[in-house]
C-alpha cells in the first residue's frame, strides 16, 4: 500500500490470480515469465510405478476466473500428484484442487540464536511395511476393545502371525513388517472374556498396500513431491481424510509408535494419560488434573521427527456418584441433604453427569458399566417402573422397594433421585448410592473460569522446567526398547533437535500529539508514558451507568475514578472534557435497554457510556447486545474493583480501548520500516470460526472476518455470520471449519476498504486462524475460490494477488534457548521475535514458527504459520517480518501479541457475537442455559442478533 503521508502513485497492474507460476515477482519486483499453458485436456500424470498403472491428477474442468492451467499445473506451485489425486477424489468435483507453494528461500533477517526443539529424530530402515484393512463385527466398539480383540487374535493364531508383532490403530489399519500368509481376504473368530459372558467377534483382514519407506526418505529430502502408487492406494482406500504427499507413510510410523502406549495408557487425541500417582490437583465439581504426554510423528527437512511434549487435561474423579453430586452442588456433607433435590439442583447435576459412564457396586465383583442418559425427577422411593413377576404379571414397583426385595438393601438416600442408564426407552434406573464414576473419563465439557485458573496454576512450567520434564519423559519412555518399534527397525534419538533460529528486529511505533514520539519495543513490550495517541479523540459528552450496588461502589469512588481517568486520558492525548452528563446506579440486565434509550434520546452527541459491573454478571452481555446491535452506542465496561482501587496501568488500558471504539488511532508502524508490500494498496484480512463447547448441540458456530481499512494498518472493520453444524442424514456430523459465507464477507470488506481509502487493494493477505493440518485442503479450496469469487463479483477483471496463511496455535512444538544468557523474563523463555524455518519445518512447503510475544507465565508457544497459497511471491524474510510487525499493531495493549492483529481481532469479533446471542434473562454467555422462544433460535433470528448497528460498524467496537 502507499506509504502514509505520501500521495499514492498509480496502482500497478494487479497480478494474475493463479498460483506461483503466474503474476509479477515480488511486489515491486521483476515480472516472472508465464509458465507454458497446458491444453485443457492435458492431465498431470504421476510417474508410472513398476507393476501398477499411473494415477492421474485431475486438473479441474471448472477453474475459478483468472486461474490459468499453468497456475494449477506448473511453476513453483507444481501439483503434488498425491495431494492432488487423493484430495481431488475426496473434495467436491466442481472446485479446483490447490497445492501449497514451495518454500521460496530460507530467511536471513535477524540475529542468530541457537535453540533446542522438543522434536527427536527418528531413524528408519529402507524397505517396505505391509498395510492391511481390518473390519471387526460387531463394529462400533471403542478403540480400547478393538485393540484387545486384535491382541487376542495375534496370540490365538500363531500359525498366521508366527513371531510377527503387528501394530494397529484401534480402527481399521493394521501394519506388519513382513507379509502375512493370507490370500485376498481372511476371516477369523476371536473370543474376549467378559463380565459373566464371553463376547465373540469376527475379524476380516485384507491386504491393502505395501508402503515404501524409501519414498518417504525421498520426499523428506525434497527430491520429490510425489508418492508412488502403493501409497496413493492406501490413501484412497483407508485414510478418509485430506492427504498430503506424506500422509500414509507418516500414518504407518505413527501407528507403530502409538501401539504400545495406546495399550498402556489412556489415549486422548494425540496424547496419553495415566491416573494421578504421587500428585493430586482437584479442580472442583468432580474434576481433577491428569498429567500425560503428547506424541506425534512429523515430517521435517531430511528426516522424520517425533514431537514429544508434556500435556495435562481434566478428567472426572473416580469416586462414588453421591460424592460427585456433592461436589457439583457444593453440598459439604451428604447427611445435610435430607430433602429431595430442588429442580435447579437436579438440572445442574443432570448437566454434569449426563453422558458419563458409571459402574454398579451392589452385585459383588460383577461391576457392570452403563452410560447415564438422564436423572429422574422423582426420588428413588417414588420412581416406579413396570416389573414383570415370575407368573408373567406386570406390576408397578418403586426403585427403593425393588432394591429391598431383590438385594435385601435398604437405601440410605431414598429421597435422592435415580440415574437413568442405557437406552432411554428401556427405563433402567439405578439409585445414586450403588454407582461409582468409572475411572479414566476425560472431561470434554467447558471448564468454569475458576477451574481454568486452577488448571493453569497447576500446569504452568517455566521453559527450563518444561525442557527437563520432556527429557525425563523420553528417558522414561525408553522408546528404543519398545518391542514394536524394534520389530519395524525404528530408533529414536534421546537428544532434542538443535535448530538455528533468528531473532527478528522489532518495528518502531509512531505516536502523535505535539511531540510525535516513537516507541521502540524491548522484549516485546513498550511504554506509552510521555507519548500521545497517533489520533486521539476528544470526548465531550459521556455518561456513567453503575450496575454495582451503591454499598460496594460509593459515589466518592465514582468521582475519584472520573478524576483519575480524565488525568490519564488527557496525558494520552484523548481529553475527556468536563463531568459526565449522567451518572446513575442501576440493577440487573432488564434496566440496560430502557436506560440506554433514555440516554440516546436525551443527550445529543453522546459519545460513550462507561458501565461499572459487579464482577461476572449477565449485565455485560446485555450492555453489548444493546450498545452494539440495537442502539449503536459505544460502551466501555469496567469492573467495580478497578473503580474502587484505580491504577494508572488499568486506566491506561481503558483509554487504549476507548480511543479506538470512538474512531481514534492509538499508534502506527513507522512507515519507512515496513515491508515493500505496503508500496501498493493492500488489505489485511483475519478470519476465525469459534465453536460452542463440546456436547452443546443447540448453539451455533460463529464465523468472523475482519479487514484493515487504512494504510497503516490500524483500523479494522468486521463481518460476522452464524453457522449451523453440518447435518448428514439428520445427524449432526461435527464442527464446520469452512466459513460458508466467506465470499459475501470478503466482498463486504473490499467495498468498505474502497469507501475508506478510495483504492482497490492490489493484494489481499489473509491470516486464517483455527484450521488444523487435516483441514488445510478442504478449507483452502473453498475459501480461496470464495475470495476470487468476491473479487470477480465486484468487477469482472478484478484479480488482486491473494496470499493465504494458516495460523496455528494449537500444536505441541516448543523451543528452548541453548544458551542460558539468551533466556528472556522470569520464565526463561525464548526472546520475542524468535523465528525458525529450518530443521523442524515442512520438507518442501512454505512454513515457519514465530514467537512474537514475551512469555509471562509458563513456556511460550510459538505460532506456526503455513502459507497455503501465494500469488504475491513473498520471500521468507518479507513475510516473516510483515507477520512480526502486524503482531505489534494490536490496539488493546502496548505489547507484541502471539498472533497478527487481524487474526486476533477475528477471534474477538466471534467472541463478542457469542454475547450478542445471549438472551438477557440468562446468566452470561458462559454455557448459559437456553430457554426463551424457539423462534429466537431460527437461523434468521440468530443472523439478526449478531448483526451490529450501522453506527457501531464504523468503529472497532470489538476492542
pLDDT tens-digit readout, 548-593: 999 999 999 999 999 999 999 999 999 999 999 999 999 999 999 9
* H-only helix segments in 48-117: 69-73, 81-90
**pLDDT value at residue 76:** 37
Could you tell me if 169 and 255 are in contact, meaning their C-beta atoms sit under 8 angstroms apart? Answer: yes
pTM across the whole model: 0.86
Asked if pLDDT for residue 304 goes beyond 80, the answer is yes
% of the chain with per-residue pLDDT over 70: 85
Asked if pLDDT for residue 8 goes beyond 90, the answer is no
Band of pLDDT at residue 698, cut at 50, 70 and 90: confident
Residue 143 backbone dihedrals phi, psi, to 5 degrees: -55, -40
Helices (H) and strands (E) in the chain, counts: 23, 41
**Residue 869: helix, strand or coil by DSSP?**
strand
**Residue 437: helix, strand or coil by DSSP?**
strand
Beta strands 509-510 and 668-669, pairing class: antiparallel
Contacts of 434 (CB under 8 A, 6+ apart): 360, 361, 362, 403, 409
pLDDT tens-digit readout, 660-670: 999 999 999 99
Asked if pLDDT for residue 376 goes beyond 70, the answer is yes
- Burial of 775 (C-beta count, 10 Å sphere; 0-12/13-18/19+): middle
Asked if pLDDT for residue 948 goes beyond 60, the answer is yes
Could you tell me if 62 and 95 are in contact, meaning their C-beta atoms sit under 8 angstroms apart? Answer: yes
* Sequential DSSP letters for 899-944: S-HHHHHHHHHHHHHHHHTS-TTSS-SSS----S-GGGGSHHHHHH
Residue 3: all three cell numbers together: 506509504
Q: Which residue has the cell 514467537?
A: 851
Could you tell me if 386 and 396 are in contact, meaning their C-beta atoms sit under 8 angstroms apart? Answer: yes
- Cα(507)–Cα(889) distance, rounded to whole angstroms? 10
Q: Is-cis flag, bond preceding 138, omega within 30?
A: yes
- Cα(533)–Cα(658) distance, rounded to whole angstroms? 12
- How many other C-beta atoms are found inside a 10 Å radius of the C-beta of residue 577? 11
**pLDDT value at residue 934:** 55
- Upper half-sphere CA count for residue 791 (Cβ side, 13 Å): 25
The strands making up 635-639's β-sheet, listed across from edge to edge, are: 582-585, 542-546, 608-613, 635-639
**pLDDT value at residue 247:** 73
Note the Cα 855 to chain centre separation in Å: 20
Could you tell me if 693 and 928 are in contact, meaning their C-beta atoms sit under 8 angstroms apart? Answer: no
The strands making up 668-669's β-sheet, listed across from edge to edge, are: 518-519, 509-510, 668-669
286-291-292-294 Cα dihedral, nearest 10 degrees: 100
Contacts of 765 (CB under 8 A, 6+ apart): 677, 682, 683, 684, 685, 802, 803, 805, 872, 882
> Of 93 and 922, which is predicted with more confidence?
93
pLDDT tens-digit readout, 816-872: 999 999 999 999 999 999 999 999 999 999 999 999 999 999 999 999 999 999 999
pLDDT tens-digit readout, 98-149: 899 999 999 999 999 999 999 999 999 989 999 999 999 998 899 999 999 9
Could you tell me if 810 and 123 are in contact, meaning their C-beta atoms sit under 8 angstroms apart? Answer: no
Asked if pLDDT for residue 51 goes beyond 60, the answer is no
- Cα(803)–Cα(875) distance, rounded to whole angstroms? 12
pLDDT tens-digit readout, 181-210: 988 899 999 999 876 688 999 999 999 999
Amino acid at each position: 500500500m502507499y506509504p502514509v503521508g505520501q500521495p499514492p502513485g498509480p496502482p500497478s497492474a494487479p497480478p494474475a490470480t493463479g498460483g506461483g507460476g503466474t503474476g509479477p515477482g515480488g511486489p515491486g519486483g521483476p515480472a516472472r515469465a508465464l509458465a507454458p499453458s497446458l491444453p485443457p485436456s492435458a492431465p498431470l500424470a504421476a510417474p508410472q510405478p513398476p507393476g501398477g498403472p499411473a494415477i492421474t491428477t485431475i486438473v479441474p474442468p471448472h477453474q475459478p476466473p483468472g486461474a490459468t492451467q499453468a497456475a494449477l499445473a506448473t511453476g513453483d506451485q507444481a501439483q503434488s500428484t498425491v495431494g492432488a489425486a487423493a484430495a481431488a477424489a475426496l473434495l467436491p468435483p466442481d472446485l479446483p484442487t490447490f497445492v501449497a507453494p514451495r518454500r521460496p528461500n530460507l530467511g536471513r533477517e535477524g540475529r542468530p540464536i541457537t535453540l533446542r526443539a522438543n522434536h527427536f529424530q527418528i531413524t528408519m530402515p529402507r524397505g517396505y511395511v505391509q498395510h492391511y484393512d481390518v473390519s471387526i463385527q460387531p463394529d462400533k466398539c471403542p478403540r480400547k476393545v478393538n485393540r484387545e480383540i486384535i491382541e487376542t487374535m495375534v496370540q490365538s493364531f500363531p500359525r498366521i502371525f508366527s513371531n510377527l508383532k503387528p501394530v494397529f490403530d484401534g480402527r481399521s489399519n493394521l501394519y506388519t513388517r513382513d507379509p502375512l500368509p493370507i490370500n485376498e481376504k481372511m476371516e477369523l473368530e476371536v473370543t474376549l472374556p467378559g463380565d459373566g459372558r464371553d463376547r465373540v467377534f469376527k475379524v476380516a483382514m485384507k491386504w491393502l498396500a505395501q508402503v515404501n519407506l524409501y519414498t518417504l526418505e525421498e520426499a523428506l529430502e525434497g527430491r520429490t513431491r510425489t508418492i508412488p502408487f502403493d501409497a496413493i492406494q492406501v490413501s484412497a482406500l483407508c485414510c478418509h481424510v485430506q492427504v498430503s504427499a506424506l500422509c500414509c507413510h507418516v500414518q504407518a510410523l505413527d501407528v507403530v509408535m502409538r501401539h504400545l502406549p495406546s495399550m498402556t495408557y489412556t489415549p486422548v487425541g494425540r496424547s496419553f494419560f495415566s491416573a494421578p500417582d504421587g500428585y493430586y490437583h482437584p479442580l472442583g465439581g468432580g474434576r481433577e488434573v491428569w498429567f500425560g504426554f503428547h506424541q506425534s510423528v512429523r515430517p521435517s527437512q531430511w528426516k522424520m521427527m517425533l514431537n514429544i511434549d508434556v500435556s495435562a487435561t481434566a478428567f472426572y474423579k473416580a469416586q462414588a456418584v453421591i460424592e460427585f453430586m456433592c461436589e457439583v452442588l457444593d453440598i459439604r456433607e451428604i447427611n445435610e441433604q435430607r430433602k429431595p433435590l430442588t429442580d435447579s439442583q437436579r438440572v445442574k447435576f443432570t448437566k454434569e453427569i449426563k453422558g458419563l459412564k458409571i459402574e454398579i457396586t451392589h452385585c459383588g465383583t460383577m461391576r457392570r458399566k452403563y452410560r447415564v442418559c438422564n436423572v429422574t425427577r422423582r426420588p428413588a422411593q417414588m420412581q416406579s417402573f413396570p416389573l414383570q413377576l415370575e407368573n408373567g404379571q406386570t406390576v408397578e414397583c418403586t426403585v427403593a422397594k425393588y432394591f429391598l426385595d431383590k438385594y435385601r438393601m435398604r437405601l440410605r438416600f431414598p429421597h435422592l433421585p435415580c440415574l437413568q442408564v442405557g437406552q432411554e426407552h428401556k427405563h433402567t434406573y439405578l439409585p445414586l448410592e450403588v454407582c461409582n464414576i468409572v475411572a479414566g473419563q476425560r472431561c470434554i465439557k467447558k471448564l468454569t473460569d475458576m477451574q481454568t485458573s486452577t488448571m493453569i496454576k497447576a500446569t504452568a512450567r517455566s521453559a527450563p522446567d518444561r525442557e527437563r520434564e520432556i527429557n525425563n519423559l523420553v528417558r522414561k519412555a525408553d522408546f528404543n526398547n519398545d518391542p514394536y518399534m524394534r520389530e519395524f527397525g525404528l530408533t529414536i534419538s534421546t537428544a532434542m533437535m538443535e535448530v538455528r533460529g533468528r531473532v527478528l528486529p522489532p518495528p518502531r511505533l509512531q505516536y502523535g500529539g505535539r511531540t510525535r514520539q516513537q516507541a521502540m519495543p524491548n522484549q516485546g513490550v513498550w511504554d506509552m508514558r510521555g507519548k500521545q495517541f497517533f489520533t486521539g479523540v476528544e470526548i465531550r459528552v459521556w455518561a456513567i451507568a453503575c450496575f454495582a450496588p451503591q454499598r460496594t461502589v460509593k459515589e466518592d469512588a465514582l468521582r475519584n475514578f472520573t478524576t483519575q481517568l480524565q488525568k490519564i486520558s488527557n496525558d494520552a492525548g484523548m481529553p475527556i472534557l468536563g463531568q459526565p452528563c449522567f451518572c446513575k446506579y442501576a440493577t440487573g440486565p432488564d434496566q440496560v435497554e430502557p436506560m440506554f434509550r433514555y440516554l440516546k434520546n436525551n443527550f445529543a452527541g453522546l459519545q460513550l457510556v462507561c458501565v461499572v459491573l459487579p464482577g461476572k454478571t449477565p449485565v455485560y452481555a446485555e450492555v453489548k447486545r444493546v450498545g452494539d446491535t440495537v442502539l449503536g452506542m459505544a460502551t466501555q465496561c469496567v469492573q467495580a474493583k478497578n473503580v474502587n482501587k484505580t491504577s494508572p496501568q488499568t486506566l491506561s488500558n481503558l483509554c487504549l480501548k476507548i480511543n479506538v471504539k470512538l474512531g481514534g488511532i492509538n499508534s502506527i508502524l513507522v512507515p519507512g520500516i515496513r515491508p515493500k508490500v505496503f508500496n501498493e494498496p493492500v488489505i489485511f484480512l483475519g478470519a476465525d470460526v469459534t465453536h460452542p463447547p463440546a456436547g452443546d448441540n443447540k448453539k451455533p458456530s460463529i464465523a468472523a472476518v475482519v479487514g484493515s481499512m487504512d494504510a497503516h494498518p490500524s483500523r479494522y472493520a468486521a463481518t460476522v455470520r452464524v453457522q449451523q453444524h453440518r447435518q448428514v442424514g439428520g445427524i449432526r456430523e461435527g464442527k464446520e471449519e469452512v466459513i460458508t459465507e466467506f465470499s459475501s464477507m470478503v466482498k463486504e470488506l473490499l467495498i468498505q476498504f474502497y469507501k475508506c481509502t478510495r483504492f482497490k487493494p492490489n493484494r489481499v493477505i489473509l491470516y486464517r486462524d483455527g484450521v488444523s493440518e487435516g483441514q488445510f485442503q478442504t478449507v483452502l479450496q473453498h475459501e480461496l475460490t470464495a475470495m476470487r469469487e468476491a473479487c470477480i463479483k465486484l468487477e469482472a477483471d478484478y484479480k488482486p494477488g491473494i496470499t493465504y496463511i494458516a495460523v496455528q496455535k494449537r500444536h505441541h512444538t516448543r523451543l528452548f534457548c541453548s544458551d542460558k544468557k539468551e533466556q528472556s523474563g522470569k520464565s526463561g523463555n525464548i526472546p520475542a521475535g524468535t523465528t525458525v524455518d529450518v530443521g523442524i519445518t515442512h520438507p518442501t512447503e512454505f512454513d515457519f514458527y514465530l514467537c512474537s510475544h514475551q512469555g509471562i507465565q509458563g513456556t511460550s508457544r510459538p505460532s506456526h504459520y503455513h502459507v497455503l497459497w501465494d500469488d504475491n511471491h513473498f520471500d521468507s524474510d518479507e513475510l516473516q517480518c510483515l507477520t512480526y510487525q502486524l503482531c505489534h499493531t494490536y490496539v488493546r495493549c502496548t505489547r507484541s501479541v502471539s498472533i497478527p492483529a487481524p487474526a486476533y481481532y477475528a477471534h474477538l469479533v466471534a467472541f463478542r457475537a457469542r454475547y450478542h446471542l445471549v438472551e438477557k434473562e440468562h446468566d452470561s454467555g458462559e454455557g448459559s442455559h437456553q430457554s426463551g422462544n424457539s423462534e429466537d433460535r431460527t437461523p434468521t433470528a440468530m443472523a439478526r442478533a449478531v448483526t451490529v448497528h450501522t453506527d457501531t460498524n464504523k468503529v472497532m467496537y470489538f476492542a
